[in-house]
Amino acid sequence: MELVTLRDLLPRAKKERYAVGAFNFNGYEDAAGILAGAEEARSPVIMMASQGACQYIGVYEAAGLVQGMAKRAKVPVCLHLDHATDYDLIKEAVKAGFSSVMVDASAKPYEDNIRESAAIVRFARDYNCSVEAELGKVGGKEEHIVVEDRSATFTDPAEVPRYVEETGIDALAIAFGSVHGFYKSEPKLDFERLAAILKLTDCPLVLHGGTGIPIADIQRCITMGLAKVNVGTELKAAFANTIRKMCAEVSPDEFDPRKFLKPVKAVCAAIVKEKLTAFGSAGKA
Ligand code: G3H
Ligand code: ZN
């Protein structure tokens, strides 16, 4: 199958009140695990490479890897560039065949955020690539983007309609209490804010910082109309912990890297299957 875009996935999810899971990968093993989990759940899936992952793997290499996986996949796969602040890298990813990108101009003033996100939308359109952008600032640390608690700003509902209209984006990342990385204290989502934003726009909304939020809270957001949920740190930790475990378990005489790496796929698949089932997208492929 060819890669699909957010436009192919999110409007339907919003209408039918489920969310499509979006998962960060950093190499072959976790990427294969994400797809295996989605296939087990018979769910569409969004595979995300962050700007850092693209710099590590290579933009064309990441595109080639996931395009290759998608060819024989039994479920729709979207390949999404996550939290990109480098516009040259975004353009390279679009040209390389990513079916979706996130332009993150959330640290910029409102007018600049609109102008720069709109320019990416215009560029991506010619390649049938969808675009997500962010309004407000999600707190925590997402690789090169660090937002201290005092600088995190919730999305102002009043700013949403003009932002969506003038950028022409396909999905909107909003800040309403979730945080990137592990939570230092109990996450507190602002459901009223989410409700207010949902009333003001038809644009599918995205929850960032999915790791560590109680599933019941995520499900409440989805029932209200949230359409995409991002999960990264939980998979990263599972990847690292599995390698640590295998290094302790495998004989010191072993030198086949696959002996250490193979279990990562199953561990990631189990997490992804569980999330997709909780998000209501199992069986929607
Ligand atoms: O864009 C990526 C996600 O928002 C990941 O957040 O690492 O806290 O799960 P997380
Ligand atoms: Zn994020």
Q: Render pLDDT for 97-150 as a digit per residue (tens, 0 to 9).
A: 999 999 999 999 999 999 999 999 999 999 999 999 999 998 887 778 777 776
| Residue 284 forms part of a structural domain | no
Q: What is the mean pLDDT of residues 21-28?
A: 98
* 230 pocket-lining for ligand 1 (C-beta < 6 Å): yes
CATH number at residue 206: 3.20.20.70
Among candidate residues 23, 28, 24, the one with its CA nearest the CA of residue 258 = 28
Residue 127 located in a structural domain: yes
Predicted local confidence at residue 142, as pLDDT: 78
State the pLDDT confidence band at 79, using cuts at 50, 70 and 90.
Answer: very high
- For ligand 1, whether the C-beta of 104 sits within 6 Å is no
Q: Which atom of ligand 1 is nearest to the CA of 234?
A: 9
- 94 located within any domain: yes
Q: Tens digits of per-residue pLDDT, 150-178?
A: 667 999 999 999 999 999 999 999 999 99
Q: What is the pLDDT of residues 266-282, one digit of tens each?
A: 999 999 999 999 999 99
Q: What is the pLDDT of residue 150?
A: 66
Residue 257 lies in a domain: yes
Cβ count near 151 (within 10 Å): 10
Domain count, the chain: 1
The closest ligand to the CA of 48 turns out to be 1
Q: Ligand 1 pocket, 242 CB below 6 A?
A: no
Q: Is the CB of 180 under 6 A from ligand 1?
A: yes
Q: What range does the domain containing 252 cover?
A: 6-279
60 domain residue, yes or no:
yes
188-233: pLDDT as tens digits: 999 999 999 999 999 999 999 999 999 999 999 999 999 999 999 9
Average pLDDT in the chain? 96
Give 53's pLDDT tier (boundaries 50, 70, 90): very high
Q: Reading across the β-sheet that carries 145-147, which strands appear in turn? A: 145-147, 139-142, 179-180
Cα(209) to ligand 2 centroid in Å equals 6
Question: What pLDDT was estimated at residue 70?
Answer: 98
Q: Quote the pTM value.
A: 0.97
Query: Is 113 domain-assigned?
Result: yes
By alpha-carbon position, which residue is closest to atom 6 of ligand 1?
A: 209
Check whether 82 has a pLDDT greater than 80.
yes
Residue 140 confidence (pLDDT): 82
